[in-house]
Amino acid sequence: MIKSTNVVQRLDPETGAILNSSAPILPGSLSLIPRMASDAAGHVYVSAGSSTSNGRFYCFNADLTPIWDVVVPSVNIGAPCIGQGGILVIAGVGTNVRAYKTSAPCYADCNGDGARNLSDFGCFQTKFALGDPYADCNGDGVLNLSDFGCFQTKFALGCP
Ligand SMILES: [Ca+2]
Ligand SMILES: [Ca+2]
């Protein structure tokens, strides 16, 4: 979150290069006090705004394109947090507590961009090469050719 421009940015974890940027949220000189969470499907949740009349809760795709947003007065009181089963909880003032059900992750969407395409095979190969636990597609604790077959099967089955 960039305070001077009120935008959310996604950075490359290795280079720090800006990969995506949101449109400005809550434009103006409000005390944003932004807080964020992300779910297993790669959605980004941002709460910002500190007065009883201003405060908003945003949901973005992993590439920071907006999905929805909702007014939550004094949302700076509590940060969004994701609990068991993907339940996201956000709190404003008093009894203003809300819970949302986040999307289930789609295993075949390896890079979490919401699309299922050739990039996800590249993503899987990279994770496999790095020994990432994600690449243990069949969950047998070993990374081998069977996991590639498993990934192909899950890819072919698609996402819910
Ligand atoms: Ca993808
Ligand atoms: Ca395996």
Task: Tell me the DSSP string of 97-158.
Answer: EEEEEPPPP-TT-TT-SS--SHHHHHHHHHHHHHT-GGG-TT-SS--SHHHHHHHHHHHHH-
Predicted pLDDT of residue 31: 63
Which domains are delineated in the chain? Answer: 9-101 (2.40.10), 118-157 (no CATH)
One pLDDT digit (tens) per residue for the chain, 160 residues: 676 788 889 998 899 999 999 988 875 545 667 788 888 777 888 888 776 567 888 889 888 988 888 887 777 777 788 877 678 888 777 777 888 877 667 889 888 787 899 999 999 999 999 998 889 999 999 999 999 999 999 999 987 7
120 alpha carbon – ligand 1 mean position (Å)? 5
8 alpha carbon – ligand 1 mean position (Å)? 21
How far lies 118's CA from each of 78, 109, 150, 155, 156, in Å?
39, 10, 16, 10, 12
Predicted pLDDT of residue 29: 47
Residue partners of 32: CB distance under 8 A and separation at least 6: 1, 3, 6, 25, 26, 48, 49, 50, 76
Nearest one of 1, 55, 4, 51 to 26, comparing CA atoms: 55
User: Which ligand sits nearest to residue 63's alpha carbon?
Assistant: 1
103 alpha carbon – ligand 2 mean position (Å)? 25
User: Which ligand sits nearest to residue 148's alpha carbon?
Assistant: 2
Whole-angstrom distance, CA of residue 138 vs CA of residue 147? 6
User: Which ligand sits nearest to residue 107's alpha carbon?
Assistant: 1
29 alpha carbon – ligand 2 mean position (Å)? 51
Predicted pLDDT of residue 87: 80
Query: Residue 152 CB: number of other CB atoms within 10 A?
Result: 14
113 alpha carbon – ligand 1 mean position (Å)? 5
Predicted pLDDT of residue 51: 63
User: Which ligand sits nearest to residue 120's alpha carbon?
Assistant: 1
Q: Is the pTM of this model over 0.85?
A: no
Whole-angstrom distance, CA of residue 150 vs CA of residue 160? 17
Predicted pLDDT of residue 98: 83
Please state the separation of Cα 113 from the chain's center in Å. 10
76 alpha carbon – ligand 1 mean position (Å)? 32
CB 48 within 8 A of CB 65: no
57 alpha carbon – ligand 1 mean position (Å)? 25
